Amino acid sequence: MTGQFNNPALHSYLLRLADTSLTMGQRLAEWCGHGPYLEEDVALTNVSLDLIGHANIFYQLAAELHEHPITADDLAFLRDAHEYRNPIITELPKGDFAYTTLKQYFIDVFNVHLYQALSTSSYEPLALAAKKALMEVKYHRKRSEAWVERLSLSTEEAKTRSQKALFDLWFYTPELFETDAAMDELFVQGVIADYTEIKTIWHQQVEAHLQHCQLTLPESGWVATGGLQGEHSEHLGYMLAEMQFLQRAYPGCEW
């Protein structure tokens, strides 16, 4: 499919992909220099680097569809919180290592299935980007899946922390699979993935792994929603204030 220049739905979807990867990568980057040991410091930073790289590609694709000349950096650094379209889970604070790990695992499994589906997108630039990202997120998943198990089936403390992380995070996951009218239209056009299918397989695989790890799902909680419409938690504003500081304080400069 070509001639997507006037496709605001695709532009907005690419921003959802980019914002999700960037906020996730930005949070993970906070571990750099502070990891539980050196090997993990390097690993966490590696995943962060991959995610920011994916964001960069999706922002570039989005920028190409823009009516006015605009750059990937403009999209990342000059939009306010209400214009960000990531699900709330990716903007949550990094928390402890169990919380970071479980959050990463949820996103990694989601990303594997998302990019697998997007790699057959009728919009070729998106299909190519998804293929590249897929190779990397498969490794991310392998790593976080192993860590969820390692933490849950080891010491009492690690298990307690993992269980708490699950209670705190579980009801942020339904938002990953939310779609809006524009996304439904893109799905009909063969541009994006079937989120219902991704949701089904995600639940099968994640719930089986959590059961294997002897973790219990919470029964009720606040079910997060709103990111797709620009309704976010309090955390995103602080993240953007920090991330966008230089571009905001010294507008129009080269860096």
Partner 1 sequence: MYSQGLTDAKGQQEPAELLAAFQAKIDREEKIEPRDWMPDAYRKTLIRQMSQHAHSEIVGQLPEGNWITRAPTLNRKMILLAKVQDEAGHGLYIYSATETLGVTRDQLTDELLSGKAKYSSIFNYPTPSWADMGAIGWLVDGAAIMNQVPLCRASYGPYARSMVRICKEESFHQRQGYEIMTVLARGSKAQKDMAQRALNRTWWPALMMFGPSDKDSTHSAQSMKWKIKRFSNDELRQKFIDATVPQAEHLGLTIPDPELKLNPETGHYDHGPIDWDEFIQVLKGNGPCNKERLQARIDAHDKGAWVREAANVYQQKQQKREVA
Q: Binding to partner 1 (CB under 8 A): which residues in 160-199?
A: 161
Least gap, CB of 40 to partner 1 (angstroms): 7
Of residues 1 and 49, the one with the C-beta less far from partner 1: 49
3 state SS for 165-201: HHHHHHHHCHHHHCCCHHHHHHHHCCCCCCHHHHHHH
* DSSP category for residue 7: -
* Distant-in-sequence, close-in-space partners of 17: CB < 8 Å, separation ≥ 6: 54, 58
Cα-Cα-Cα-Cα torsion 225, 226, 229, 235, nearest 10 degrees, comes to -130
* DSSP category for residue 78: S
Of residues 9 and 76, the one with the C-beta less far from partner 1: 76
Give me the residue label for tokens 């002897």. Answer: 214
Among 61, 65, 72, 176, the residue binding partner 1 under the rule CB under 8 A is: 72
Q: Is 53 in the site for partner 1 (CB under 8 A)?
A: yes
Q: Which stretch binds partner 1 (CB under 8 A): 105-113, 116-124, 164-172, 241-249?
A: 241-249
Q: What is the distance between the alpha carbons of residues 64 and 5, in angstroms, rounded to a whole number?
A: 8
Among 65, 84, 87, 97, the residue binding partner 1 under the rule CB under 8 A is: 97
Q: Is 70 in the site for partner 1 (CB under 8 A)?
A: no
Q: Which residues of this chain interact with partner 1, rule CB under 8 A?
A: 22, 26, 29-30, 32-42, 45-46, 48-49, 52-53, 55-56, 59, 72-73, 76-77, 96-97, 149-151, 153-155, 157-158, 161, 242-243, 245-247, 250, 253-255
